[in-house]
A and B are shown apart, each in its own frame.
Chain A
């Protein structure tokens, strides 16, 4: 059960759920049904798709109309509930309802489902908050939890406690959840996200990607892939890079690839490429000196894993638990938590005498980690074992 579903839905947890559902059907032959609302946009939760059953890439999708979407006064109501003193139980329930989507029918469908297990994701919406406690032992909660104010709502304790099993993106998310809700003894799995290597060798697309990005064949560059948005740390990266270039004039460039929400600082060595096709994206990973992931609030960062698969060493924000965990576990990159650390790390990756050797070593370690942990066959095997054993326990 996810609050919204489909290829047109933009959302990390929802996309992860869709990819997993489709893979369980196509690769393992499982019978997977999705219970969801008719909404596509998490800002309104307005019904867009028609209610009823469809089959999408082999997955049976049941959509239910919502009784209400996002309440117009939600933002005003939300701030004191999340940031003020502990809210009353009634205010918490009201917060969940005003946030939307209020869809009792999807909750009823989950409660009456005959499935071996019912997976829920992410943790903070009405269908999940009301659905998990009804399904209990058969509920597998994929919370996609961040350290955000909503996670502190006391009402959520019952949701986490009643889930029969929990599946996390990262070890950091698991630690956060266990610390917050005391559910360390529940059945748990750190799964991550599955990633596919493209059908082509990314190195073969490096030259055409350089051309598409307006870079000369030998120009060194750092690449940042994903939404160009202040909240994703791209503003921070732009400013740090501009400062770096003022102290280290040279050919190094910074290329932003992805939807532009907030333009980074103007600088002759910063290229804002906008949306590009998959070939250019993978070619850019392969051609880049390093992939920079400046976002402080990633719950997994598929981009980082893709970069490693294409051979790019990583440079991540030390303040992001998930990406720092990936780098720490893989040894596939460096991190920065200050300008001085950014400068020192970029120096090591670009200017040090052993820079090329270092980049190759880091990239190889990152790639080994990505393939061992997040290649679809490995990930599906891990998930299938976990779900099977959880289902067996739930039946007892």
Chain B
């Protein structure tokens, strides 16, 4: 429930140009937030002044803009529980203020009676929401969301999205008969997407990392968030990559639900995953340990999609993880057979592609 903004250049610690003083914008914003907190706690700003101005701010700073920040929205709701029955009486016409004052005085007792009850109700509701928020905090600490935060807090994210362009011919074959929009989530730098567009596929992508000026249509969005906002059956095909390597199991199951409903009848779902064994080998130990989830085997995705009505699935193995052990030239047959077995055990495919279809 901590405030998150997570957008764009703001998280970058350097200045905009090489000659500009370096600024950590996120740190700066956090320092200002801390200063605001300190001012409030110390009573530095007179309460009357702050309340008067905050009422004006509430009018001109819509609560929708605070949507990502539970604490700020709740604070705004708590402030709004106070109902001011002293209506302003100013007017540009001379007699009207007197009339307004009389009306205010006459109906004041009635408004106070209603306002007290309304304020009490609103206060009880906001208190209940705050208690609920505290409970959610406790739940988050025990859930994969906390692990996601742990991974995000440190420098443990993979430095860049994996290069998927070698899958382009396979995907072009699977998608050649597709008519309609194809979503690639997460599209990374858009290389695979560009190859698909080049092959005539009407594809667009989403990726949670901001990627300005990408040539093709790659939007900044989380895969699940984007899919949730689409109507059912909106897409001709969905290609999943990246997120399927690191999402918590619960989130992957939700993703499976989403893709099975958002793809149109006759459409295709494709999963480009890192092989679980290769994933653990290819990442830094800190990343492996703190990642909220890990990739699933292709057979598991096949099973999950089949459970959701997807059929005719096909799995294609990617290239080997690393260079395998070379057999000994003219060597002992048993030795070379063992090397072959070791290769199969140690150097399996690094990735896989799986396609499944939603029946018409």
Contacts and interface: CB of A to CB of B under 8 A. Distances in A.
B86 interface: no
Q: Tell me whether chain A's interface is mostly helix, strand or loop, or mixed.
A: helix
Interface stretch (A26-34, A36-44, A106-114, A365-373): A365-373
B22 interface: yes
A344 B16 contact: no
B32 A345 contact: yes
Interface stretch (A219-227, A268-276, A335-343): A335-343
Given A184-B229, A321-B65, A332-B16, A361 B45 contact: no
B56 A357 contact: no
Given A343-B45, A345-B32, A360 B16 contact: no
A328 interface: yes
Interface string A357-388: 11011111111110011000010001001100
A334 B29 contact: yes
Contacts of B29: 334
Interface string A117-154: 00000000000000000000000000000010000000
A94 interface: no
B12 interface: yes
B7 A329 contact: yes
Interface string B19-34: 1111101001101110
Contacts of A364: 15-17, 19-21
A345 B28 CA distance: 10
Given A189-B217, A236-B57, A239-B53, A318 B204 contact: no
B230 A182 contact: yes
Contact of A330 (B9, B28, B36, B65): B9
A385 B23 contact: no
B212 A372 contact: yes
Given A189-B217, A330-B9, A340 B36 contact: yes
Contact of B8 (A184, A321, A328, A343): A328
Size category, B interface: 35 or more
Interface string B200-222: 00101000001011010101110
Contact of A328 (B5, B35, B226): B5
B156 to A, nearest CB: 23
Contacts of B5: 328
B229 A236 contact: no
The 8 closest A-B pairs by CB, nearest first: A319-B61, A364-B20, A368-B16, A365-B16, A329-B8, A331-B25, A339-B53, A361-B23
Given A182-B231, A239-B53, A187 B204 contact: yes
B36 A373 contact: no
A240 B66 contact: no
B257 interface: no
A340 B40 contact: yes
A367 B16 contact: yes
Given A339-B49, A339-B57, A343-B39, A329 B210 contact: yes
B155 interface: no
A329 B61 CA distance: 20
Contacts of A317: 60-61
Given A187-B204, A188-B217, A330-B9, A337 B72 contact: yes
A233 interface: yes
B10 interface: yes
A243 B53 contact: yes
Given A184-B226, A329-B7, A348-B31, 16 more contacts: A184-B230, A185-B235, A186-B181, A188-B219, A236-B60, A296-B65, A325-B7, A331-B23, A338-B57, A348-B32, A360-B20, A361-B15, A361-B23, A367-B16, A372-B212, A378-B213
A328 B25 CA distance: 9
Interface of B: 5, 7-10, 12, 15-17, 19-23, 25, 28-29, 31-33, 35-36, 39-40, 45, 49-50, 53-54, 56-57, 59-66, 72, 181, 183, 197, 202, 204, 210, 212-213, 215, 217, 219-221, 226, 229-231, 234-235
Contacts of B28: 334, 348, 358
A372 B63 CA distance: 30
Most central of A296, A340, A348 by chain B CB within 10 Å: A340
Nearest to B65: A319
Contact of A340 (B8, B17, B45): B45
Contacts of B32: 334, 341, 344-345, 348
A318 B33 CA distance: 12
Interface in A178-232: 178-179, 182, 184-190
Nearest to B9: A331
B53 A185 contact: no
Contacts of B181: 185-187
B20 A296 contact: no
Most central of A184, A318, A325, A334 by chain B CB within 10 Å: A184
B17 A344 contact: no
A60 interface: no
Nearest to A357: B21
Contact of B213 (A188, A247, A366, A372): A372
Nearest to A335: B29
A189 B219 CA distance: 9
A179 B229 contact: yes
Contacts of A71: none
Contacts of A332: 16
A357 B49 CA distance: 31
Contacts of B212: 372-373
A378 B61 CA distance: 32
A358 B45 CA distance: 25
A4 interface: no
Contacts of B210: 329
A247 B23 CA distance: 28
A364 B25 CA distance: 12
Most central of B22, B62, B63, B65 by chain A CB within 10 Å: B65
Nearest to A360: B21
8 contacts: A235-B56, A236-B57, A318-B65, A334-B32, A338-B57, A339-B57, A347-B35, A365-B23
B229 A344 contact: no
Contacts of B213: 372, 378, 382
Interface in A155-175: 171, 174
